[in-house]
Amino acid sequence: MNYVFVYGTLRRGERNHYLLKNAKLLYEQAWTFGQLFDTPYHFPVLYESPNNKIYGELYEITEDELKLLDRLEGFEEGKENNYYERKIKTIFTDQGCFDAYVYIDTKRHIEVSKEILNGDWKVYQLEQSRPEYIDYFAYGSCMDHERFQKHGVDHYFQNVKGTGILNGYSLRFSLPTSDAGKADIVEDKVGIVEGIVYQIPFEATHYLYRREGVAIGLYRPAVITVEINGRNIENVLTFIVIDKKEETPPSCLYAKEIFRGAKGYLSEGYIKSLQQHVKQLQLASKK
């Protein structure tokens, strides 16, 4: 059994993903350590580094699929001047660690143009393209229009495309802060997270990045696929906690914002299950 971690043009929606069309996607929010760079040829290269997190997808592949990837990456077993070396690295997911193949430019001989500081090729491309409008999936307090009004940014969030369904994730409160736990999405392959999908002007991302504490490492932007009325919507922006901890119950005010924003958009069954989860966390914290 072979595992491979892909971080660039082999990811879903990218131009070389067809090589993995029959491979089993294990996790789409996987990460490892490294340093990611763009190139003049519009594909990224990965250098080894112990300090930065690089995000991508983890697949289970066959020997034939591995040979196809080797050919794409210019790797040949035993050859000295490969474009990339195929190495085994530890890959981290929300459900544990895997040892997987990763293609790395160990000799640093591929020309690079700039470092991708957020470590995510898909987010980097979204930021570089600067489209006039993007889709944004809110699943926590960012569903609360009253809070947008208080911050004077409600004009950014007028266009609601619908209720988004994110399959394979669960909503958890895995970011402890000084005023209790904050919402997060955790990839568990079995859960469902409901949220509101907004179409927002690209300039609104500046507000969202500040609100989510991206610069100080609380949340990271991510590009996901959500379902609206049975149709998949790709390249949707959301935010995910970077350093997940054991769940902490949310404050009463924070929970109020979530449920106030959810009303009229999310299903009654989902809201009830989330309310029950919050109640269980609160009871457990008092023991």
Residues listed for the chain: 287
Distance CA 145, CA 60 (A): 42
Q: In the chain, which residue ranges form alpha helices assigned H by DSSP?
A: 63-73, 121-129, 145-151, 204-211, 252-262, 268-285
Tokens 């090729």 belong to which residue? 121
SS3 102: strand
Q: Which of 194, 212, 247, 257 is catalytic?
A: 212
Task: Find residue 150's DSSP bridge partners.
Answer: none
Task: Find residue 187's DSSP bridge partners.
Answer: 169
Measure Cα distances from 259 to 3, 40, 142, 196, 252 in Å.
40, 46, 11, 12, 11
Distance CA 142, CA 126 (A): 21
DSSP string, 164-191: EEEEEEEEEEEEEETTEEEEEEEEEEEE
Q: What are the tokens at 71?
A: 């050919």
**E strand or H helix at 199:** strand 180-201
DSSP state of 133: E
Distance CA 97, CA 139 (A): 26
Distance CA 269, CA 20 (A): 36
Is 227 in the active site? no
Q: Are 78 and 37 in contact (CB under 8 A)?
A: no
| Active site residue ranges | 212
